[in-house]
Amino acid sequence: QQPVQSPQAVILREGEDAVINCSSSKALYSVHWYRQKHGEAPVFLMILLKGGEQKGHEKISASFNEKKQQSSLYLTASQLSYSGTYFCGTASPYSGGGADGLTFGKGTHLIIQP
């Protein structure tokens, strides 16, 4: 079953912050975040492995609450280059850490306006 992402879409002005949520009905072992520009390949952002873990990548960070089976992606002081569709991919404890393939959400469309 696909994880649920929210919101489905968000429009921001450059410099504003955004939060994208990913929620699963199944136990999670890890959460992977990707960004995809239209017609291009998804690009890896980060993997979160432990409950409560937070990771950062420039002005993009994420958290993972294993107990709640949720992850959130935080984009601060957004830039025009952040526009695209963000996907979370989840791995269950029984999937070899995602070796059997990730289960992706439907994506969140992020539009950054100047």
Q: How many residues bind other proteins (CB under 8 A)?
A: 27
Q: Can you say whether residue 81 is alpha, beta or left, with left for phi > 0 and alpha for psi between -120 and 50 degrees?
A: alpha
Instruction: Residue 53: name the closest of 40, 67, 43 by CA.
Output: 67
Peptide bond before residue 42 is cis, with ω within 30 degrees of 0: no
Q: How far is the CB of 59 from other proteins (least distance, A)?
A: 20
Q: How far is the CB of 49 from other proteins (least distance, A)?
A: 6
Q: Does 25 bind other proteins (CB under 8 A)?
A: no
Q: How far is the CB of 83 from other proteins (least distance, A)?
A: 17
Contact 59, 87 (CB under 8 A): no
Q: What character string, x for contact with other proteins (CB under 8 A) and - otherwise, covers 75-114?
A: ------------x-x-x----xxxxxxxxxxxx-------
Q: What character string, x for contact with other proteins (CB under 8 A) and - otherwise, covers 50-79?
A: ------------------------------
**Contacts to other proteins by CB under 8 A:** 2, 29-30, 32, 39-44, 47, 49, 87, 89, 91, 96-107
